[in-house]
Chain A
Protein backbone atom coordinates (compact mmCIF):
# COMPACT_ATOMS: atom_id res chain seq x y z
CA UNK A 1 0.00 0.00 0.00
CA UNK A 2 1.80 3.06 -1.26
CA UNK A 3 -1.20 5.36 -1.06
CA UNK A 4 -1.20 6.46 2.55
CA UNK A 5 -0.27 10.03 1.73
CA UNK A 6 -3.33 10.37 -0.46
CA UNK A 7 -6.42 12.10 0.82
CA UNK A 8 -9.61 10.10 1.15
CA UNK A 9 -12.00 11.74 -1.30
CA UNK A 10 -15.62 11.19 -2.25
CA UNK A 11 -16.71 9.41 -5.42
CA UNK A 12 -19.56 11.76 -6.27
CA UNK A 13 -17.42 14.83 -5.69
CA UNK A 14 -14.54 13.49 -7.78
CA UNK A 15 -16.92 12.37 -10.55
CA UNK A 16 -18.55 15.80 -10.59
CA UNK A 17 -15.14 17.45 -10.86
CA UNK A 18 -14.30 15.21 -13.84
CA UNK A 19 -17.58 15.97 -15.62
CA UNK A 20 -16.99 19.68 -15.03
CA UNK A 21 -13.76 19.43 -17.00
CA UNK A 22 -15.26 17.81 -20.10
CA UNK A 23 -15.69 20.31 -22.92
CA UNK A 24 -15.27 18.19 -26.04
CA UNK A 25 -18.00 15.56 -25.82
CA UNK A 26 -15.61 13.09 -24.24
CA UNK A 27 -17.08 9.63 -23.71
CA UNK A 28 -17.42 8.34 -20.15
CA UNK A 29 -18.01 4.67 -19.29
CA UNK A 30 -19.37 4.12 -15.79
CA UNK A 31 -18.60 0.76 -14.19
CA UNK A 32 -21.13 -1.37 -12.38
CA UNK A 33 -22.87 -0.12 -9.23
CA UNK A 34 -21.98 3.03 -7.33
CA UNK A 35 -19.49 4.12 -9.98
CA UNK A 36 -22.19 4.62 -12.60
CA UNK A 37 -24.76 5.76 -10.02
CA UNK A 38 -22.52 8.72 -9.22
CA UNK A 39 -21.86 9.32 -12.91
CA UNK A 40 -25.61 9.47 -13.42
CA UNK A 41 -26.03 11.74 -10.38
CA UNK A 42 -23.34 14.09 -11.65
CA UNK A 43 -25.71 14.94 -14.51
CA UNK A 44 -26.60 12.82 -17.52
CA UNK A 45 -24.69 13.51 -20.71
CA UNK A 46 -25.37 11.80 -24.05
CA UNK A 47 -21.74 10.63 -24.07
CA UNK A 48 -22.17 8.64 -20.84
CA UNK A 49 -22.55 4.87 -20.85
CA UNK A 50 -23.84 3.13 -17.74
CA UNK A 51 -23.09 -0.53 -17.06
CA UNK A 52 -25.80 -2.59 -15.42
CA UNK A 53 -23.78 -5.79 -15.08
CA UNK A 54 -20.67 -7.38 -16.59
CA UNK A 55 -18.58 -6.40 -13.57
CA UNK A 56 -15.03 -5.52 -14.49
CA UNK A 57 -15.61 -4.54 -18.10
CA UNK A 58 -15.58 -0.73 -17.87
CA UNK A 59 -12.00 -0.54 -19.12
CA UNK A 60 -12.48 -3.07 -21.97
CA UNK A 61 -15.67 -1.31 -23.11
CA UNK A 62 -13.87 2.04 -22.99
CA UNK A 63 -10.95 0.52 -24.91
CA UNK A 64 -13.38 -0.52 -27.65
CA UNK A 65 -14.81 2.98 -27.87
CA UNK A 66 -11.30 4.43 -27.90
CA UNK A 67 -10.27 2.13 -30.77
CA UNK A 68 -13.41 3.01 -32.72
CA UNK A 69 -13.03 6.78 -32.22
CA UNK A 70 -9.34 7.59 -31.86
CA UNK A 71 -9.96 11.35 -32.03
CA UNK A 72 -12.26 11.36 -29.00
CA UNK A 73 -11.02 11.15 -25.41
CA UNK A 74 -12.62 8.23 -23.60
CA UNK A 75 -12.81 8.03 -19.82
CA UNK A 76 -13.64 4.90 -17.84
CA UNK A 77 -14.66 4.96 -14.21
CA UNK A 78 -14.14 1.69 -12.37
CA UNK A 79 -14.22 0.49 -8.78
CA UNK A 80 -11.29 -1.32 -7.23
CA UNK A 81 -13.33 -4.50 -6.73
CA UNK A 82 -14.40 -4.46 -10.36
CA UNK A 83 -10.89 -3.88 -11.60
CA UNK A 84 -9.65 -6.87 -9.58
CA UNK A 85 -11.94 -9.04 -11.71
CA UNK A 86 -10.20 -8.06 -14.93
CA UNK A 87 -6.59 -7.13 -14.20
CA UNK A 88 -5.49 -8.67 -17.49
CA UNK A 89 -7.24 -5.83 -19.31
CA UNK A 90 -4.54 -3.46 -18.04
CA UNK A 91 -1.90 -5.35 -20.01
CA UNK A 92 -4.07 -5.43 -23.12
CA UNK A 93 -4.43 -1.64 -22.90
CA UNK A 94 -0.71 -1.20 -22.21
CA UNK A 95 0.06 -3.23 -25.34
CA UNK A 96 -2.33 -1.31 -27.60
CA UNK A 97 -1.40 2.10 -26.10
CA UNK A 98 -4.55 4.06 -27.01
CA UNK A 99 -3.52 7.60 -26.09
CA UNK A 100 -7.16 8.71 -25.92
CA UNK A 101 -8.06 6.33 -23.07
CA UNK A 102 -8.11 7.57 -19.48
CA UNK A 103 -8.85 5.09 -16.67
CA UNK A 104 -10.01 6.25 -13.27
CA UNK A 105 -10.12 3.80 -10.37
CA UNK A 106 -12.29 4.61 -7.37
CA UNK A 107 -10.57 2.70 -4.57
CA UNK A 108 -12.26 2.30 -1.19
CA UNK A 109 -11.01 -1.24 -0.57
CA UNK A 110 -14.54 -2.56 -0.13
CA UNK A 111 -17.48 -3.97 -1.98
CA UNK A 112 -19.60 -1.09 -0.70
CA UNK A 113 -22.80 -2.03 -2.44
CA UNK A 114 -22.95 -5.59 -1.13
CA UNK A 115 -22.32 -4.71 2.52
CA UNK A 116 -18.88 -3.13 2.65
CA UNK A 117 -16.89 -6.37 2.74
CA UNK A 118 -13.15 -5.73 2.22
CA UNK A 119 -11.72 -6.75 -1.17
CA UNK A 120 -8.94 -9.34 -1.16
CA UNK A 121 -6.59 -6.54 -2.21
CA UNK A 122 -7.66 -4.04 0.43
CA UNK A 123 -4.81 -4.36 2.89
CA UNK A 124 -2.07 -5.78 0.69
CA UNK A 125 -2.13 -4.51 -2.89
CA UNK A 126 -1.55 -1.15 -4.57
CA UNK A 127 -3.68 -0.46 -7.66
CA UNK A 128 -1.18 1.98 -9.15
CA UNK A 129 1.70 -0.43 -8.67
CA UNK A 130 -0.39 -3.15 -10.33
CA UNK A 131 -1.15 -0.84 -13.25
CA UNK A 132 2.46 0.22 -13.62
CA UNK A 133 3.54 -3.39 -13.41
CA UNK A 134 1.03 -4.21 -16.13
CA UNK A 135 2.81 -1.80 -18.44
CA UNK A 136 0.82 1.39 -17.89
CA UNK A 137 3.62 3.82 -17.16
CA UNK A 138 1.26 6.79 -16.84
CA UNK A 139 -0.38 5.57 -13.62
CA UNK A 140 -0.66 7.73 -10.52
CA UNK A 141 -2.49 8.22 -7.25
CA UNK A 142 -4.36 11.50 -6.96
CA UNK A 143 -3.11 13.14 -3.75
CA UNK A 144 -6.23 15.28 -3.34
CA UNK A 145 -9.00 16.84 -5.41
CA UNK A 146 -6.74 19.49 -6.89
CA UNK A 147 -4.19 16.87 -7.86
CA UNK A 148 -6.97 14.78 -9.43
CA UNK A 149 -7.98 17.69 -11.63
CA UNK A 150 -4.37 18.29 -12.58
CA UNK A 151 -3.93 14.63 -13.53
CA UNK A 152 -7.11 14.71 -15.62
CA UNK A 153 -5.88 17.78 -17.47
CA UNK A 154 -2.51 16.16 -18.12
CA UNK A 155 -4.22 13.01 -19.39
CA UNK A 156 -6.27 15.05 -21.87
CA UNK A 157 -3.16 15.79 -23.91
CA UNK A 158 -1.12 12.70 -23.09
CA UNK A 159 0.40 10.53 -25.79
CA UNK A 160 -0.19 7.29 -23.90
CA UNK A 161 -3.10 5.85 -21.91
CA UNK A 162 -3.40 7.20 -18.37
CA UNK A 163 -4.64 5.65 -15.14
CA UNK A 164 -5.62 7.78 -12.17
CA UNK A 165 -6.39 6.10 -8.85
CA UNK A 166 -8.44 7.88 -6.25
CA UNK A 167 -8.83 6.84 -2.63
CA UNK A 168 -12.47 7.28 -1.77
CA UNK A 169 -14.61 6.95 1.31
CA UNK A 170 -17.21 4.27 1.99
CA UNK A 171 -20.27 6.34 1.01
CA UNK A 172 -22.82 4.81 -1.34
CA UNK A 173 -23.64 6.39 -4.69
CA UNK A 174 -25.75 9.53 -4.64
CA UNK A 175 -28.24 8.61 -7.35
CA UNK A 176 -29.52 5.50 -9.09
CA UNK A 177 -29.21 5.06 -12.84
CA UNK A 178 -32.43 4.37 -14.73
CA UNK A 179 -32.02 0.74 -15.70
CA UNK A 180 -33.03 0.83 -19.34
CA UNK A 181 -30.15 -0.79 -21.22
CA UNK A 182 -31.46 -0.29 -24.74
CA UNK A 183 -32.10 3.39 -24.15
CA UNK A 184 -28.70 3.81 -22.48
CA UNK A 185 -26.96 2.21 -25.47
CA UNK A 186 -28.96 4.07 -28.09
CA UNK A 187 -28.44 7.47 -26.45
CA UNK A 188 -24.75 6.74 -26.08
CA UNK A 189 -24.45 5.93 -29.78
CA UNK A 190 -26.27 9.15 -30.61
CA UNK A 191 -23.99 11.02 -28.23
CA UNK A 192 -20.97 9.62 -30.07
CA UNK A 193 -22.38 10.63 -33.45
CA UNK A 194 -22.80 7.04 -34.58
CA UNK A 195 -26.59 7.25 -34.88
CA UNK A 196 -29.28 9.82 -35.45
CA UNK A 197 -32.44 9.77 -33.31
CA UNK A 198 -35.37 8.01 -34.97
Chain B
Protein backbone atom coordinates (compact mmCIF):
# COMPACT_ATOMS: atom_id res chain seq x y z
CA UNK B 1 0.00 0.00 0.00
CA UNK B 2 1.14 3.47 -0.82
CA UNK B 3 0.34 4.73 2.66
CA UNK B 4 2.56 2.14 4.32
CA UNK B 5 5.43 2.98 2.01
CA UNK B 6 5.08 6.64 2.72
CA UNK B 7 5.32 6.04 6.46
CA UNK B 8 8.70 4.39 5.98
CA UNK B 9 10.20 7.65 4.78
CA UNK B 10 10.32 11.13 6.31
CA UNK B 11 6.98 12.87 6.17
CA UNK B 12 6.72 15.21 3.24
CA UNK B 13 5.51 18.00 5.49
CA UNK B 14 8.89 18.19 7.22
CA UNK B 15 10.86 18.75 4.06
CA UNK B 16 11.15 21.23 1.24
CA UNK B 17 10.59 20.08 -2.34
CA UNK B 18 14.31 20.03 -3.02
CA UNK B 19 15.05 17.96 0.09
CA UNK B 20 12.50 15.42 -1.09
CA UNK B 21 13.98 15.28 -4.59
CA UNK B 22 17.48 14.84 -3.19
CA UNK B 23 16.43 12.08 -0.79
CA UNK B 24 14.42 10.32 -3.48
CA UNK B 25 17.41 10.36 -5.83
CA UNK B 26 19.59 8.94 -3.10
CA UNK B 27 17.16 6.23 -2.12
CA UNK B 28 17.03 5.12 -5.75
CA UNK B 29 20.84 5.08 -6.00
CA UNK B 30 20.95 7.89 -8.52
CA UNK B 31 24.37 9.38 -7.89
CA UNK B 32 25.25 11.13 -11.15
CA UNK B 33 23.40 14.41 -11.69
CA UNK B 34 24.55 16.67 -14.53
CA UNK B 35 22.53 19.82 -15.03
CA UNK B 36 22.09 23.06 -16.90
CA UNK B 37 21.19 25.43 -14.10
CA UNK B 38 17.93 27.21 -13.41
CA UNK B 39 17.12 29.78 -10.76
CA UNK B 40 14.41 27.62 -9.21
CA UNK B 41 16.70 24.57 -9.07
CA UNK B 42 19.45 26.49 -7.27
CA UNK B 43 18.83 25.12 -3.74
CA UNK B 44 18.67 21.55 -5.08
CA UNK B 45 21.88 22.02 -7.07
CA UNK B 46 23.61 23.55 -4.05
CA UNK B 47 22.64 20.66 -1.81
CA UNK B 48 23.64 18.07 -4.41
CA UNK B 49 27.09 19.65 -4.55
CA UNK B 50 27.30 19.59 -0.76
CA UNK B 51 26.51 15.88 -0.53
CA UNK B 52 29.45 13.56 -1.32
CA UNK B 53 27.04 10.82 -2.43
CA UNK B 54 26.44 12.76 -5.64
CA UNK B 55 28.64 13.53 -8.60
CA UNK B 56 26.99 16.68 -9.89
CA UNK B 57 28.23 19.20 -12.40
CA UNK B 58 27.11 21.68 -15.04
CA UNK B 59 27.14 20.79 -18.72
CA UNK B 60 27.15 23.22 -21.63
CA UNK B 61 23.95 21.82 -23.13
CA UNK B 62 21.11 19.61 -21.96
CA UNK B 63 21.66 16.97 -24.65
CA UNK B 64 25.24 16.65 -23.46
CA UNK B 65 23.90 15.78 -20.01
CA UNK B 66 21.53 13.23 -21.58
CA UNK B 67 24.48 11.62 -23.37
CA UNK B 68 26.43 11.46 -20.10
CA UNK B 69 23.71 9.77 -18.05
CA UNK B 70 22.94 7.41 -20.95
CA UNK B 71 26.56 6.29 -21.05
CA UNK B 72 26.62 6.00 -17.27
CA UNK B 73 23.49 3.83 -17.28
CA UNK B 74 25.07 1.45 -19.75
CA UNK B 75 28.13 1.36 -17.52
CA UNK B 76 26.03 0.47 -14.50
CA UNK B 77 25.61 3.82 -12.79
CA UNK B 78 22.32 5.64 -12.45
CA UNK B 79 21.88 9.31 -13.26
CA UNK B 80 19.30 12.05 -13.67
CA UNK B 81 19.37 15.34 -15.58
CA UNK B 82 18.17 18.68 -14.21
CA UNK B 83 17.07 21.42 -16.58
CA UNK B 84 14.63 24.21 -17.30
CA UNK B 85 11.75 24.17 -19.79
CA UNK B 86 13.76 25.92 -22.51
CA UNK B 87 16.47 23.29 -22.09
CA UNK B 88 14.01 20.49 -22.59
CA UNK B 89 13.12 22.13 -25.91
CA UNK B 90 16.60 21.26 -27.19
CA UNK B 91 16.17 17.52 -26.56
CA UNK B 92 13.80 16.19 -29.25
CA UNK B 93 16.63 14.74 -31.33
CA UNK B 94 18.46 12.98 -28.52
CA UNK B 95 15.22 11.60 -27.10
CA UNK B 96 14.17 10.20 -30.48
CA UNK B 97 17.59 8.91 -31.54
CA UNK B 98 19.18 7.77 -28.26
CA UNK B 99 17.02 7.48 -25.15
CA UNK B 100 13.90 5.98 -26.72
CA UNK B 101 15.27 3.60 -29.40
CA UNK B 102 18.07 2.28 -27.16
CA UNK B 103 15.60 1.88 -24.27
CA UNK B 104 17.49 3.97 -21.74
CA UNK B 105 15.75 4.95 -18.49
CA UNK B 106 16.51 8.63 -18.81
CA UNK B 107 15.27 10.48 -15.74
CA UNK B 108 14.64 14.17 -16.30
CA UNK B 109 13.65 16.84 -13.78
CA UNK B 110 12.36 19.92 -15.58
CA UNK B 111 11.82 23.16 -13.71
CA UNK B 112 8.76 24.56 -15.41
CA UNK B 113 8.94 28.11 -16.62
CA UNK B 114 6.53 29.81 -18.98
CA UNK B 115 3.35 29.46 -16.95
CA UNK B 116 1.67 30.77 -13.79
CA UNK B 117 3.17 34.21 -13.81
CA UNK B 118 5.79 34.04 -16.54
CA UNK B 119 7.14 37.45 -17.52
CA UNK B 120 9.19 36.42 -20.58
CA UNK B 121 7.11 35.80 -23.70
CA UNK B 122 9.76 33.47 -25.15
CA UNK B 123 9.59 31.26 -22.05
CA UNK B 124 5.83 31.03 -22.23
CA UNK B 125 5.99 30.00 -25.89
CA UNK B 126 8.72 27.40 -25.49
CA UNK B 127 6.84 25.92 -22.53
CA UNK B 128 3.96 25.09 -24.88
CA UNK B 129 6.23 22.84 -26.94
CA UNK B 130 7.24 20.62 -24.02
CA UNK B 131 4.21 18.37 -23.51
CA UNK B 132 3.50 17.93 -27.23
CA UNK B 133 7.08 16.70 -27.70
CA UNK B 134 6.75 14.30 -24.77
CA UNK B 135 3.37 13.09 -26.03
CA UNK B 136 4.59 12.69 -29.60
CA UNK B 137 7.08 10.08 -28.38
CA UNK B 138 4.57 8.62 -25.92
CA UNK B 139 6.95 9.39 -23.06
CA UNK B 140 5.84 9.15 -19.45
CA UNK B 141 5.62 12.56 -17.83
CA UNK B 142 4.09 14.03 -14.71
CA UNK B 143 3.55 17.61 -13.71
CA UNK B 144 4.09 17.85 -9.97
CA UNK B 145 2.15 20.62 -8.27
CA UNK B 146 1.83 19.41 -4.66
CA UNK B 147 4.47 18.80 -2.02
CA UNK B 148 2.53 15.89 -0.52
CA UNK B 149 2.54 14.09 -3.88
CA UNK B 150 6.13 14.79 -4.85
CA UNK B 151 7.85 11.87 -3.17
CA UNK B 152 5.28 9.34 -4.35
CA UNK B 153 5.38 10.53 -7.96
CA UNK B 154 9.15 10.89 -8.12
CA UNK B 155 9.94 7.61 -6.38
CA UNK B 156 7.43 5.58 -8.36
CA UNK B 157 8.39 7.22 -11.65
CA UNK B 158 12.08 6.56 -11.16
CA UNK B 159 11.38 2.91 -10.36
CA UNK B 160 9.10 2.62 -13.37
CA UNK B 161 11.69 4.20 -15.68
CA UNK B 162 14.34 1.73 -14.52
CA UNK B 163 12.18 -1.37 -14.66
CA UNK B 164 10.54 -0.54 -17.99
CA UNK B 165 13.74 0.94 -19.48
CA UNK B 166 11.90 4.03 -20.61
CA UNK B 167 12.53 7.76 -20.11
CA UNK B 168 10.46 9.86 -17.75
CA UNK B 169 10.08 13.61 -17.36
CA UNK B 170 9.14 15.01 -13.96
CA UNK B 171 7.96 18.57 -14.44
CA UNK B 172 8.34 20.71 -11.34
CA UNK B 173 5.47 23.20 -11.56
CA UNK B 174 5.55 26.67 -9.93
CA UNK B 175 2.77 25.49 -7.59
CA UNK B 176 5.39 23.15 -6.10
CA UNK B 177 8.53 25.26 -6.28
CA UNK B 178 7.20 28.82 -6.19
CA UNK B 179 8.61 29.35 -9.66
CA UNK B 180 10.46 32.42 -10.78
CA UNK B 181 8.65 35.71 -10.41
CA UNK B 182 9.17 39.10 -12.00
CA UNK B 183 11.33 41.22 -9.71
CA UNK B 184 12.24 44.10 -12.06
Which A residues are closer than 8 A to B by beta carbons?
27, 29, 49, 51-57, 59-69, 86-89, 91-92, 95-96, 181-182, 184-185, 188-189, 192-194
Contact = CB atoms under 8 A, between A and B. Distances in A.
A64 B59 contact: no
Nearest to B76: A194
17 contacts: A51-B98, A52-B97, A52-B101, A53-B93, A54-B67, A57-B63, A57-B98, A60-B59, A64-B73, A65-B71, A65-B72, A65-B74, A67-B32, A68-B76, A88-B61, A91-B60, A192-B75
**Which secondary structure dominates where chain A touches chain B?**
helix
A189 B105 CA distance: 14
A57 B101 contact: no
Nearest to A192: B75
Given A89-B59, A182-B101, A57 B76 contact: no
Given A53-B97, A57-B67, A92-B59, A64 B32 contact: yes
B104 A68 contact: no
**Contact count band on B:** 20 to 34
A56 B61 CA distance: 11
A102 to B, nearest CB: 14
B71 A61 contact: yes
B98 A53 contact: yes
A185 B64 contact: no
Contacts of A55: 93
B69 interface: yes
A137 B112 CA distance: 38
Contacts of A68: 32, 71-77
B60 A92 contact: yes
A91 B63 CA distance: 15
A88 B59 contact: yes
Nearest to A49: B74
B65 to A, nearest CB: 8
Given A29-B71, A57-B64, 14 more contacts: A54-B98, A60-B59, A60-B64, A60-B68, A61-B70, A64-B32, A64-B68, A65-B75, A67-B68, A67-B75, A91-B60, A92-B58, A181-B103, A184-B102
B72 to A, nearest CB: 4
Contacts of B103: 181-182, 185
A86 B102 CA distance: 21
Interface in B68-91: 68-77, 79
A86 B76 contact: no
Contacts of B11: none
A181 B71 contact: no
A96 B65 CA distance: 13
A137 to B, nearest CB: 19
A163 B71 CA distance: 19
Contact of B76 (A54, A69, A96): A69
A64 B102 contact: no
B96 interface: yes
Given A54-B94, A64-B32, A182 B67 contact: no
A32 to B, nearest CB: 9
Contacts of B34: 92
A64 B101 contact: no
A68 B66 CA distance: 14
B102 A181 contact: yes
Contacts of B58: 92
Nearest to A51: B98
